[in-house]
Amino acid sequence: MQRFHNELLDVQDLSTQSLHVEADGFVKFADYFFDDIFSAWSVHSKISTAREQVSRVQDDVHNTIRRLQEKHHKAVAHLEELQKEKKAILQI
């Protein structure tokens, strides 16, 4: 994900949300020493939060890919237009 984010920084006019999913060291500690309902609930909460973060990252990646495809199509159309103009100029 970090490589994808770094590549996007090279593309003009595109911004992404944070592509970062956090892990909490306390949850590991609590689960190891206090194997009870609270640590299980905490782990479940962290998993749910991580799933939501992953879902947002997926949406962000899909939207970014869509915007890149749109920019690509516009660039191809512009290139074709320039090639036609060049051909017309050279025929004069």
Whether the predicted model's global pTM rises above the 0.85 cut = no
Q: Which residues contact 1 (CB under 8 A, 6 or more apart)?
A: 19, 57
31-53: pLDDT as tens digits = 566 666 776 788 889 999 999 99
* Percent residues over pLDDT 90 in the chain: 50
Residue 50's pLDDT is 94
Distance in Å from the first CA to the final CA of the chain: 51
Closest CA to 43 of 15, 19, 24: 24
pLDDT above 70 (res 78): yes
